[in-house]
Amino acid sequence: MERMTEEQVKTIANMLRKRSLWMIHYCTGCGAMELPPTMTSRYDMERFGLAPYVTSRQADILLITGYLNVKTLRRVITVYEQMLDPKYVIGFGSCALNGGVYWDSYAVIKQLDRYIPADLYIAGCMPRPEAIISAFRHLMELIDSGKADGYKRYKRNLAYYKENQRKVLG
């Protein structure tokens, strides 16, 4: 019997990994009301292999809903760094993407991916459950193809991320 190559092992691991994703949901205000309908029986995100989880140590996905201010950025970074590899980040709503309605506030983080790598953004203020499910399915495709590699980018470009974090957090 032939041994599997490392590439074959990675392919199988990604195929299996994409169907069992645990999500920790970091809610900063907006988005707290939009995500629960995605979990209920009408949309039932668990049928796609997604389940909410309560600790960062076991979570695969960090879902950041709503705006991030300077004060909460430190906590988000801590949660992200506590997660085990492979880990994925989804920015949920316009605020995580560009500050949303708070774009002109000095205290709001405008670009999440300058501080931690975002694998995917869900646009909208706030996104509907159909958009959320679609984004999760797209993330699964990225995982399956090996293109969801934010955690690798974070390690490769750690100096860049840490410098941006230091500029904001001091």
Q: How many domains does the structure of the chain reveal?
A: 1
What phi and psi values does residue 109 have, to the nearest 5 degrees? -75, 125
**pLDDT score, position 21:** 84
Domain containing 49 equals 6-169
The more confident residue out of 46 and 117 is 117
Which residue from 28, 14, 10 is spatially nearest to 109, judged by alpha carbons?
Answer: 28
Examine residue 61 and state whether it is found in any structural domain, yes or no.
yes
For residues 58 and 20, is the Cβ–Cβ distance under 8 A?
no
Around Cβ 97, how many Cβ atoms within 10 Å? 19
**pLDDT score, position 92:** 86
| Rounded average pLDDT over 81-107 | 87
Q: 3-class DSSP state for residue 157?
A: coil
Question: For the segment 17-41, what is each residue's pLDDT rounded down to a tens digit?
Answer: 666 788 888 887 677 777 777 777 7
Strand partners, 121: 91
| Rounded average pLDDT over 85-112 | 86
Residue 45 has pLDDT above 70, yes or no: yes
**pLDDT score, position 158:** 96
| CATH number of the domain enclosing 153 | 3.40.50.12280
**In the structure, what pLDDT confidence band is assigned to residue 71 with cuts at 50, 70 and 90?**
confident
Examine residue 1 and state whether it is found in any structural domain, yes or no.
no
Which residue from 85, 83, 95, 143 is spatially nearest to 119, judged by alpha carbons?
Answer: 143
With vertex at residue 149, the alpha carbon angle to CA 131 and CA 115, rounded to the nearest 5 degrees, is 80
**pLDDT score, position 17:** 61
Question: For the segment 134-169, what is each residue's pLDDT rounded down to a tens digit?
Answer: 998 899 899 888 899 999 999 999 999 999 999 999
